[in-house]
Structure formats: C-alpha cells, structure tokens
C-alpha cells in the first residue's frame, strides 16, 4: 500500500498526498477554516460515495447497462459526545436500463464496497506521536 502523507498548508488547511496526487482538506469558514477544500468528515463520506460508484459502474459496464450514468449523493448527520458521524444517507442512481430485478443485487454489491465494510467493522488505529526535527 502506498504511503499517504498529510502536511500543513495554512490555518486548518492540509494537503493529503498519495501516489503523486494531492487533495486539499480544510474546514468551512464557520468552523474556523478558510473553506479551501472538503472537511475530513466530507472526505470520509466522499470516499464512501466514490467506492460505491466505482463498484456499481464496473457492474453496469460488465452487464451492458448504459442508458444513463451511475451517481451517488450523500448527506451526513453528525452527533456529539463523542463528535462523530451518526448517519450517512446514500442515494445511488443507476442507468435507466437496469432491470428492476437487478436493483437488489446492486444494493448488496454497494454494501460490500471496502469503505462500507470498514465503517461496519472499524479498523484498529495504531497512533504514534513523533516529535519532529527541532
């Protein structure tokens, strides 16, 4: 697996880098950021949506369903104590030519995307605090 690095840019804005790609992460202005990119929570939900979309797109391509696009819309519900995502509502749009009797199979496929599976069975997180160079 490739190393993912997160480095400070300015304020609450950070650069996330992996395999030569960079994504900017920031907080909304109302939360003390400069709104230079999606928040970490929005990136989490976006990762879930992208994972579902990619798996369903591949399924639709393999089965010849092409009358429309695969798309995912997500909304978040936050909770406090502890601060976390309480619920993610996912609306999955599939091509018009997907037969009614295949929609349940697509739903089950979407539920097996690696991000969804990770949210259902959270990984262990081994956090080390390292003092940087002086």
Q: What are the tens digits of pLDDT across the range 101-128?
A: 999 999 999 999 999 999 999 999 999 9
Query: How do residues 49-72 score in pLDDT, each as one tens digit?
Result: 999 999 999 999 999 999 999 999
- pTM (whole model) above 0.85: yes
For residues 70 and 57, is the Cβ–Cβ distance under 8 A?
yes
3-state secondary structure of 87: strand
Annotated domain spans of the chain: 1-38, 39-122
For residues 20 and 35, is the Cβ–Cβ distance under 8 A?
no
Give helix 40-63 / helix 103-111 axis angle, nearest 10°: 140
The topology under which CATH files domain 39-122 is: GMP Synthetase; Chain A, domain 3 (3.30.300)
């Amino acid at each position: 697996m490739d190393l993912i690095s997160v480095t400070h840019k300015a304020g609450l804005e950070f650069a996330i880098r992996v395999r030569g790609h960079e994504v900017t992460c920031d907080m909304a202005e109302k939360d003390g950021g400069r709104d230079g990119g999606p928040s970490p929570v929005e990136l989490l939900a976006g990762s879930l949506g992208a994972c579902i979309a990619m798996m369903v797109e591949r399924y639709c391509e393999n089965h010849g369903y092409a009358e429309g696009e695969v798309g995912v819309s997500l909304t978040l519900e936050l909770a406090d104590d502890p601060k976390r995502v309480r619920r993610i509502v996912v609306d999955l749009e599939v091509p018009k030519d997907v037969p009614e009797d295949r929609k349940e199979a697509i739903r089950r496929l979407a539920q097996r995307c690696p991000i969804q599976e990770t949210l259902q069975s959270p990984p262990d997180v081994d956090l080390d605090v390292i003092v940087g160079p002086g």
